[in-house]
């Protein structure tokens, strides 16, 4: 990891980072963009620049501690990429889509659990009928416990 960053810094001195290349300026030692926007990934910076503007991103990165810049850049790149793909909703479209998916899967899970419970109750009732037994209070309470456990998923 450190080795890769070191190599990146060396290559930054030799050739400009993706940001400086796009902005057509000299990539100086300690360039705030260089560690996060390597020359071999030009689209990352192009997207971020288009959506947020290079000077805003530069200010934002300079204002935060170095250890947080990597996360901030990942977030900026993700949001900028989503905004370029969907200019109206941006990453909100992705969040909404995932939210709908979660709701749909939770409904499917609840249905499956209700179905399992139904089958278990039928099997228990059939077993009691086959043995000529009445449903005892013990088996009835174990069934109601299952109903309670299933109800928690709704």
Residue 117 makes CB contacts below 8 A (sequence gap 6+) with 146, 147, 150
Identify which of residues 33 and 90 has a Cβ nearer to Zn ion in the complex: 33
Longest dimension (CA), the chain: 90
CB of 26 to Zn ion, least distance (A): 8
Identify which of residues 16 and 90 has a Cβ nearer to Zn ion in the complex: 16
Q: Which of residues 17-76 bind Zn ion (CB under 5 A)?
A: 17, 20, 27, 31, 33-34
User: Which element (helix H / strand E) includes 18?
Assistant: helix 18-23
Identify which of residues 30 and 87 has a Cβ nearer to Zn ion in the complex: 30
CB under 5 A: which stretch of 11-19, 69-77, 81-89, 115-123 binds Zn ion?
Answer: 11-19
- Among 54, 49, 8, 52, residue whose Cα is nearest residue 30: 8
Q: How many angstroms separate the CA atoms of 91 and 81, rounded?
A: 8
CB of 113 to Zn ion, least distance (A): 55
Residues that bind Zn ion (CB under 5 A): 17, 20, 27, 31, 33-34
């Amino acid at each position: 990891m450190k080795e890769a960053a070191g190599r990146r810094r060396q290559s930054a001195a030799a050739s400009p980072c993706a940001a400086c290349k796009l902005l057509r300026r000299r990539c100086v030692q300690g360039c705030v963009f260089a560690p996060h926007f390597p020359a071999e990934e030009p689209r990352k910076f192009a997207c971020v620049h288009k959506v947020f503007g290079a000077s805003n991103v530069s200010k934002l990165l300079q204002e935060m501690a170095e250890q947080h810049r990597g996360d901030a850049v990942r977030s900026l790149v993700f949001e900028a990429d989503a905004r370029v793909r969907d200019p109206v909703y941006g990453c909100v479209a992705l969040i909404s889509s995932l939210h709908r998916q979660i709701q749909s899967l939770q409904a499917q899970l609840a249905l499956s659990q209700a179905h399992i419970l139904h089958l278990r109750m039928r099997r228990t009732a059939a077993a009691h009928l086959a043995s000529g037994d009445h449903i005892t209070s013990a088996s009835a309470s174990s069934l109601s416990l299952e109903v309670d456990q299933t109800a928690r998923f709704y």
